[in-house]
Amino acid sequence: MNADLIFLKTYFGWTSFVNPEKAATKSFRLFQKVRRKGIREREEHFFALSRSFQVQTTKEPVDCFELGNPTGEIVLLVHGWDSNAGSMSMIAHALAKQNKRVISFNLPGHAFSKSSYTNLVECKDAFLAVLDYLNLKVPFSVVAHSFGSAVSTYALSKSDYEIDKLILLTNPNKIETIFKDFKNVIGLGNRAYTRLLKMSHERLGEPLSNLSVQENLKKIRYRSLLLIHDKYDKVLPYSHSAEINNEIENARLVTIENVGHYKMLWNPEVIERTVGFVNGKEVH
């Protein structure tokens, strides 16, 4: 256990005991903190090559990036937590070569954002703002990674858009599970955790128990669904996708091994399967 984690456990353990309300408020803020990472060279290359535009929201503009055929079939890419649109650039380039119109965007609080805090509601709103800006009249496809899978399914469940292919490259199926893991990691006490759940409920407008990828999938109009997940993923357990595969009849789960949570975005086999699925090929 590193020094930072020891400090967090000590702080939240003690604060939960003497002042549960304060511990809940502080932990809720911490949960929304984005760890800003430097833009890597290959990501910078993607941003440089892309056609960029902004979509206005009530908080701040959403930075969007486009590759490929301007009149081609649209594929939207949604990146994960602590990441940026450029992290999915290998997939973007591969789809662009297939004559697709590929559009990705930076989630609030990420990349070039002025703020380093965000949450599922803000990210959902940003995605819907991008969709409304594009004013799509025909079915389109979505490729999402990690937290982006929760953002995509949450946003689409609140819309009437019809999706052609939906690809989730790992996912945090039950958000409540993520909160419980967070509670245990920082040593948050039970009373403070109860207050944290209340704050989250008020922010989301619905209890966490109702918020899951698999439940949102049931509200989305999509033609086909592909799940790809590393059996040994150390960030989001494989069980998240396995649960969805067991609950959703028309889901196809592809199990990979020893590729990694982040490295999968640069893995040739994952990219080939993703692009193939978007093109209507059978994926195994």
User: What mean pLDDT is reported for the chain?
Assistant: 93
CA distances from 3 to 7, 9, 10, 183, 188 (A): 6, 10, 10, 18, 17
pLDDT tens, residue by residue, 181-200: 999 999 999 999 999 999 99
Nearest-angstrom CA–CA distance, 246 and 60: 39
Give residue 158's pLDDT: 94
Give residue 103's pLDDT: 98
Taking residues 246-255, report their average pLDDT: 93
- Residue 271: which pLDDT band, with cuts at 50, 70 and 90? very high
pTM (two decimals): 0.94
Taking residues 68-84, report their average pLDDT: 96
Which domains, from first to last, does the chain contain? Answer: 51-171+212-278 (3.40.50.1820)
pLDDT tens, residue by residue, 85-94: 999 999 999 9
Give residue 245's pLDDT: 95
The answer, yes or no, to whether residue 128 has pLDDT greater than 80, is yes
Give residue 211's pLDDT: 84
Kindly report the number of other CB atoms within 10 A of residue 52's CB atom.
12
Taking residues 161-176, report their average pLDDT: 95
- Residue 1: which pLDDT band, with cuts at 50, 70 and 90? low
Phi, psi of 57 (to 5 degrees): -135, 175
The answer, yes or no, to whether residue 127 has pLDDT greater than 90, is yes
